[in-house]
Structure 1
């Protein structure tokens, strides 16, 4: 069963406090959409509105062509996985996975087949008779995913599903979720996270949330290479954000002329220059900036330099240097004009 998700001007408020403000967003059938943002940005509220756990003050929620705004959660046909797994500790794995099917009064013979299918799909078939306490955190999360998939939902909601796992398990589960998405191409997935790596790795598109509002939406590549706002630039990957004044054929920063495209921004306007740290080079080249090394971090494959340029701290991620500069050294950085993006000053959509 395939169905997308559509928010039409969905607003949610608690005691007069707006926590989701007029959200318009569509998740296409079979698409993975990540809702990315800091705590309090409205992303989990949006997911709960789809699940039916919160009632919008205004606006409508659709699953496919169905208006589900007034439907209770159990009638929406949605699979959901939350951060803390929410498994029943007294039930064996197979009974946890069967729970939603029994609630829907599915025939016993079909329940057995669907439970086996879901456990096989998540690599948990060998653990069917165990209790949750006998499983690792990663295994418990697989069971929670199996339970959500057993009902064969058209929509799967994932609310910070990996945040309780350590880094190694999180990486493995990301790969598993990507594999499941390939095996279930008709299932629409709404994935809530504050982790940019998860969003960039898994999502077809990312909706960036801040202060209860949608700030930006696009493919991971679009948001990384050409963010529309300062908030997106800083939240989706690391970014150097420099205050500049728009001139003719470029911008000025600290009295220096910097070559960059200025399409759509008027001459004399204040703007923000965005350049990613890995696109900043050391030594002479186009758009040179000189400064003093404030800090250097070795990160295995790269060194990250923090360089003070006229009171602004620039980051440069450089492939491992045999003789890295030291704290206090004067250095020259550069970046190509095509690697910089010019953003309006202020940088967020109001």
Structure 2
């Protein structure tokens, strides 16, 4: 493991992240000599939704399991609120957890599934019915209390799983790919339900593991981007989408055109084109990557015009996506539905505004503390 790592720790951080927050203090996890989570420094504030976003094998689920107590860190400490919980068993950590397989007991009715965690916590028998009713009301499942899981849809089963997690009144709720088993329509509805649920429970911290960028952008106050067992970047969805720090962040948080350019003074060269973009953060003469989101690319003449051949046209209902080959590179443009889209092989011009481009300096690698921007070091939240 290397000492170079990204951290979002505040200078004033002490041994507590607040009543219901989470803090990873240089947490590493290894299996059989292979490091699967490398020196994670990350704070989830009380009441915050933090999404861990990354591809399979990036370390995001391992981080969640370290909070839950299902894996033991090889190094570092895990804090929940004011407590160092690294050595505590899962049932003593005061967390709720929801996984993608629902994990409901098929022989129990909905109300008994929801009550199960409270019985394990030895909540008094007289208190359980009211808390079951409260959790079912929060998740919109009151009418289904007497049903068995087999009598519910996938989305309804996931709501029961969430109700069970909430019934124990956790300060921290862990969600591990909770919507991945649902179809697209159900997933969209559950996203809205989770957003509403968090508005109803503003003091509960959510750590949400996903590989789906839409889920992360929709729900999270901040997103921690993971890859190869490391924290690559962290910031608000708006920051990471509009001003990504690395090519990996640009390509994984949203879709991006990433074009190799040579930096000049106030402009960059891409093939035969001279493009006007902000260059103040990158030295002249170096090679860099220009990032432009496809929905910010227009068709026709305009600033920063690029001309090439149409390689592919995709109709997506309300939009068309054009793939245009320009100087050996494919430029993507997402446009409002075109009445007469261009033909394959047709020469077209696309353009983008200077302020819509982000220049990514070559050699900025995740884990280099000298390259961590102020917004990461400060851990800025969506609400400022």
**TM-score for both structures, normalised by structure 2:** 0.90
Please state if 1:180 is matched with 2:197: yes
What is the CA–CA distance in structure 2 between the aligned matches of 1:286 and 1:210, rounded to whole Å? 35
What is the CA–CA distance in structure 1 between the aligned matches of 2:184 and 2:106, rounded to whole Å? 25
Structure 1 segments unaligned to the other structure (5+ residues): none
Equivalent position of 1:228 in the other structure: 245
What is the CA–CA distance in structure 1 between the aligned matches of 2:267 and 2:22, rounded to whole Å? 42
Q: Residue 35 and residue 127 in structure 1: after superposition, are their counterparts in 2 closer, same or farther (change >3 A)?
A: same
Equivalent position of 2:109 in the other structure: 92
The counterpart of 1:28, out of the listed 37, 40, 45, is: 45
In the TM superposition, what is the alpha-carbon distance from 1:345 to its structure 2 partner?
2.1
Stretches of 4+ moved more than 4 A in 1? none
The counterpart of 1:43, out of the listed 30, 55, 60, is: 60
After superposition, the C-alpha distances for 1:156-175 in whole angstroms (9 at most, x for unaligned) are 00000000000000000000
**TM-score for both structures, normalised by structure 1:** 0.99
Please state if 1:148 is matched with 2:159: no
The counterpart of 1:62, out of the listed 69, 79, 85, is: 79
What is the CA–CA distance in structure 2 between the aligned matches of 1:334 and 1:130, rounded to whole Å? 57
What is the CA–CA distance in structure 2 between the aligned matches of 1:110 and 1:252, rounded to whole Å? 69
Alignment of 1:1-350 (within 5 A): 2-346=19-363, 348-350=365-367
Contact 2:213 2:253 in 1 (8 A): yes
What is the CA–CA distance in structure 2 between the aligned matches of 1:346 and 1:84, rounded to whole Å? 40
Contact 1:231 1:348 in 2 (8 A): no
After superposition, the C-alpha distances for 1:190-221 in whole angstroms (9 at most, x for unaligned) are 00000000000000100000111011111111
Of 127-136 and 291-300, the range deviating more from structure 2:
127-136
Q: Per the alignment, in what secondary structure is the counterpart of residue 129 of structure 1?
A: coil
After superposition, the C-alpha distances for 1:64-87 in whole angstroms (9 at most, x for unaligned) are 111000100000000000010111
Contact 2:19 2:82 in 1 (8 A): no
Structure 2 segments unaligned to the other structure (5+ residues): 1-17, 368-384
